Amino acid sequence: MPETRATPRPTRCLIIGSGPAGYTAAVYAARALLEPVLIQGIQPGGQLTITTEVENWPGIIETQGPDLMVQMEAHAKAVGTQVIADHVISLDLSRRPFKATCDSGAVWHADAVILATGAQARWLGLPSEEKYKGFGVSACATCDGFFFRGKEVIVIGGGNTAVEEAIYLTNLATKVTLVHRRDALRADKILQQRLFNNPKVEIVWDHLPDEILGTPADGVTGVRLKHAKTGEPREIAASGVFIAIGHTPASELVKDQLETHMGGYVVTGGISGGISGGFSTATSVPGVFAAGDVTDHVYRQAVTSAGMGCMAALEAEKFLTEQADAAARAAE
Specify whether 310 is catalytic: no
The 267-306 site mask, x for binding ligand NAP (CB under 6 A), equals ---------------------------------xx-----
Specify whether 143 is catalytic: yes
3-state SS class at 22: helix
Question: According to CB under 6 A, which one of 34, 173, 245, 266 is a site residue for ligand NAP?
Answer: 245
Positions touching ligand FAD (CB under 6 A) are 16-22, 39-44, 46-48, 50-51, 54, 56, 87-88, 116-119, 161, 164, 250, 253, 292-293, 300-303, 305
Shortest reach from residue 227's CB to ligand NAP, in Å: 13
DSSP 8-class letter at 267: P
Helix and strand totals (H; E) in the chain: 7, 21
- Given the residues 140, 188, 206, 310, the one annotated as active site: 140
52 binds ligand NAP (CB under 6 A): no
Residue 248 binds which of ligand FAD, ligand NAP, none (CB < 5-8 A, kind-dependent): none
Question: According to CB under 6 A, which one of 11, 24, 81, 161 is a site residue for ligand NAP?
Answer: 161
If the CB atoms of residues 128 and 268 are measured against ligand FAD, the closer one turns out to be 268
Specify whether 92 is catalytic: no
For 131, how many CA atoms within 13 A lie in the half-sphere containing its CB? 14
If the CB atoms of residues 167 and 238 are measured against ligand FAD, the closer one turns out to be 167
Residue 311 binds which of ligand FAD, ligand NAP, none (CB < 5-8 A, kind-dependent): none
Mark 267-301 as b/e (b = at least 16 C-beta within 10 Å).
ebebebbebeeeebbbbbbbbbbbbbbbbbeeebb
Nearest CA to 80 among 16, 20, 13, 21? 13
Beta-carbon contacts of residue 291 (< 8 Å; ≥ 6 apart): 21, 22, 24, 25, 114, 115, 116, 281, 305, 308, 309, 311, 312
Residue pair 226/207 in contact (Cβ under 8 Å)? The answer is yes
- Given the residues 13, 86, 102, 144, the one annotated as active site: 144
* Angle between the N-to-C axes of helices 20-31 and 302-331, in degrees from 0 to 180, rounded to the nearest 10: 40
Residues in the chain: 332
Q: Alpha helix locations (H) across 32-140?
A: 65-78, 127-132
If the CB atoms of residues 203 and 291 are measured against ligand FAD, the closer one turns out to be 291
Stretch that binds ligand NAP, among 2-10, 109-117, 180-188, 216-224 (CB under 6 A): 180-188
Question: According to CB under 6 A, which one of 31, 87, 133, 186 is a site residue for ligand NAP?
Answer: 186
Residues tagged active-site: 140, 143-144
Q: Site residues (CB under 6 A) for ligand NAP?
A: 56, 124, 156-162, 164, 181-182, 186, 208, 244-247, 300-301
